Amino acid sequence: MNILVFGPPGSGKSTQARRIIERYGLEYIASGDLIREEIKKGTSVGREMEAYIKRGDLIPSTIVNILVYRQLRRVRDDFILDGYPRTAEQVLALENYLYDHGMKLDLALDFHVPKEVSIERISGRRICSKCGAVYHVKYNPPKVPGKCDVCGGELVQRADDRPEIVSKRYDIYTANMEPIIKFYKRQGIYVMVKGEGDVEEVWERVRPLLDFIHSREEKRREHEV
């Protein structure tokens, strides 16, 4: 079962993606994680990507494609792509890659939230500067304001989590995703999921569909043996 998950900043897609991984044993490929890891390494590519992020701009497809396909080369089935593709150019590149390697997508899940929800969720996020623990000023506040419950480290707001940057990212995301959504609708694999509500509410909206597709794929493989 090969799945795309996408949604605007703060949609909860990554949280739901991890739920999907735990239940169905899929390989997790998150473009955001790959980008942050490259930035952490301090490579020239990482520094270039960091500059785009701080401005709230999209990182060029040529760079992101390389990071994603490096991971896809390790798997052939049972993967979940989180946050990729984000442009029509990336969709075309991905379709060509999958076709060339005899692979296909089963589902494109769009976790949607309104802009105001996106800004509230993301701009309220705080990260521990020492251990990386994640908090939220409203939904998951630390016991002591500004201090990590785990290690006592200072909590900071990432540069790309500022309200004005989140607003810009949301607008860019919406504009770029319109043709992508149309493409996957034509393929018959697009499903929009309402991302508002708590984690369990959202999960129960999508779990029955995933159970059905997973069961269908298991039966198909049994017949191929």
The pTM is what? 0.82
Supply the residues annotated as catalytic: 13, 86, 125, 158, 169
Radius of gyration of the chain (CA): 18
Q: Is 111 helix (H, G, I), strand (E, B) or coil?
A: strand
| Backbone torsions φ then ψ of 30, nearest 5 degrees | -110, 120
Domains and CATH numbers, the chain: 3-115+170-224 (3.40.50.300)
Q: What string of DSSP letters covers 165-219?
A: HHHHHHHHHHHHHHHHHHHHHHHT-EEEEE--S-HHHHHHHHHHHHHHHHHHHHH
Q: Is 39 helix (H, G, I), strand (E, B) or coil?
A: helix
| pLDDT tens, the chain, 225 aa long | 999 999 998 999 988 999 999 999 999 999 888 988 899 898 888 999 989 888 877 788 889 998 999 899 988 789 999 989 988 889 999 999 999 999 999 999 999 999 999 999 999 999 999 998 999 999 899 999 999 999 999 999 998 899 999 999 899 889 989 999 999 999 999 999 999 998 999 999 999 999 999 998 888 878 776
Rounded CA separation 7/137 (Å): 22
